[in-house]
Amino acid sequence: MRFNLQLFLTYIVRMFSLYLLISLNLVCLTFAAKSDDLITSLPGLSNFPSFKQYSGYLDATSTKHLHYWFVESQNNPATDPVVLWLNGGPGCSSLDGLLSENGPLHVNNDGETLYANPYSWNKIANVLYLESPAGVGYSYDDNNDVKTTDDEVSLHNYNALVDFFKKFPEFVKNPFFVSGESYGGIYLPTLSVRIMQGSSNINFQGMAVGNGLSSNALNDESLVFFAYYHGLFGKVLWDRLGVDCCNGTITKENCKFGNPVGDCADDVAEVFQYVYNCGLNEYALYLDCASNIDIGNGKRYMFDMNNVFRSLKPKLRASVLSQKIMVKPTSRLGVVPPCINATAQTNYLNKASVRQALHVKEGLPTWAVCSDAVGASYQRLYDDMYSQYHQLLKHPNFRILVYNGDTDMACNFLGDQWFVDGLKLTSTMSHRPWYVEGQVAGFAQQFGNLTYTTIRGAGHMVPQWAPSYAYSMFEKFVLDKPFTN
């Protein structure tokens, strides 16, 4: 058979043209999907910012679609880090973090208008806010199946990240970090391990966990110490705890506050009355509680309180967390002091014009700061995160930041400090203060690539209540700057 050079060349040209056509179509499809998510206006915002924002959906599975809001950096989006932010719960929305903590736009109390946050984390980073798992906020499952587990959530979040970088391939080489708070103490390490083990080309460089639930037992045990040394109850009860719970010597090793029995259980229940039931703000000891019980109020509180003292016998735990005030409530406290107020964010995100601007799928239920359905059916698989941290610490260039607002009682600083101590790492910088504009912002200690720090005077939501300190901390972490000179 005679070789026909002309036919061969014609075939090559046609195949190359077909390849170019397919490639261009794929590029156009990707661009179209991304451009469809571009936010072009937001109700209640007089001056639209110059940085780009996107809102849409990322596929976690073929049926689970996670709503995201992505804000590009105000500095240099092309080279600045990409940072994922996850709120906790389990079952609470990361849009609460965007609109009241570290996002560029916050909601005024009127629930109608927005204002610029001068301490937004997107001053120096591209930030991705992901509503996870399906059923939270505007995320959904095609079959309304919102039952899930810790491991499934980490897988679905990983899949969503892979989908994000397919949609935004220009960011895949940027340094990537995960961050979040509260039950993010479980979400983030499990996701981080999965990213490390995955086949994606994500340029993964670090994890920052704020007021995280790192160990159920240590969080519970430490709270009694926290309460006593913050003056919430007196020496008579403290001494009784020593006898009934600690074999006469009160130390972290001796005491069994997290799983009390007999007289010890009665003593611990009395401590709980002071901590939870006398009208204090469990999120921030020195702040007042929100004054009104309204839509959105108390949701986040109830979800976070569900993380404490899970080892108690059900009857004792139910009575402790029933929120019956032990003293006569004032008109300010009402019957159930929720202590935080998500009314403004709730009202804003449920405006029809806002849903349209954010490209929210039609027919979804109203937005809530936390999902009852997700929280009620969620299956917890882990009591602590030691295994995950040890796996992550094997990677020599991977940075970890553990930080705590030092007035939080939901996930108190002492429990996370004990958790870090339990990793048995070698200290490379002793415990010392660090400063923002001449003021002590917190106290940090370094263990190689892991840094632990407190944030002075802040509660559970650090970026909300100590925004300048939180921003400085975030800058030091993602830009790999020392906490102290």
Digit-coded pLDDT (tens) for 248-277: 999 999 998 988 889 998 999 899 888 887
Q: What CATH number labels 53-215+382-478?
A: 3.40.50.1820
Instruction: Supply 240's token pair.
Output: 């009784």
Query: Does 225 have pLDDT greater than 50?
Result: yes
> Concatenated DSSP letters for 318-365?
HHHTT---SSPPPTTT-SS------HHHHHHHTSHHHHHHTTPPTTPP
Backbone angles phi, psi at 451, to 5 degrees: -115, 135
Q: What pLDDT is recorded for position 172?
A: 97
Q: What is the pLDDT of residues 65-94, one digit of tens each?
A: 999 999 999 999 999 999 999 999 899 999
Is the CB of residue 72 less than 8 Å from the CB of residue 51?
Answer: yes
pLDDT at 436: 97
320-331 core/surface letters (b: 16 or more CB in 10 A; e: else): bbebebeeeeee
Whole-Å CA distances, 424 to 218, 392, 419, 437, 451: 15, 14, 9, 33, 13
Q: Over the chain, what is the mean pLDDT?
A: 89
Enumerate the H helices of 38-111 as residue ranges.
Answer: 95-97
Q: Is 211 left (phi over 0), alpha (psi -120 to 50) or beta?
A: left
Per-residue pLDDT, 202: 96
When pLDDT is averaged across residues 22-34 and rounded to a whole number, the result is: 55
Give the residue numbers annotated as catalytic, written as ranges: 182, 408, 460
Distance CA 156, CA 280 (A): 37
Mean pLDDT of 301-330: 61
pLDDT higher than threshold 70 for residue 339:
no
Q: Region 152-172: what's the mean pLDDT?
A: 98
Rounded Cα distance between 292 and 342, Å, is 11
Q: What is the pTM of this model?
A: 0.89
Q: Are 51 and 74 in contact (CB under 8 A)?
A: yes
Using DSSP, state whether 56 is helix, strand or coil.
strand
In 3D, which of 145, 91, 151, 135 has the Cα closest to residue 381?
A: 151
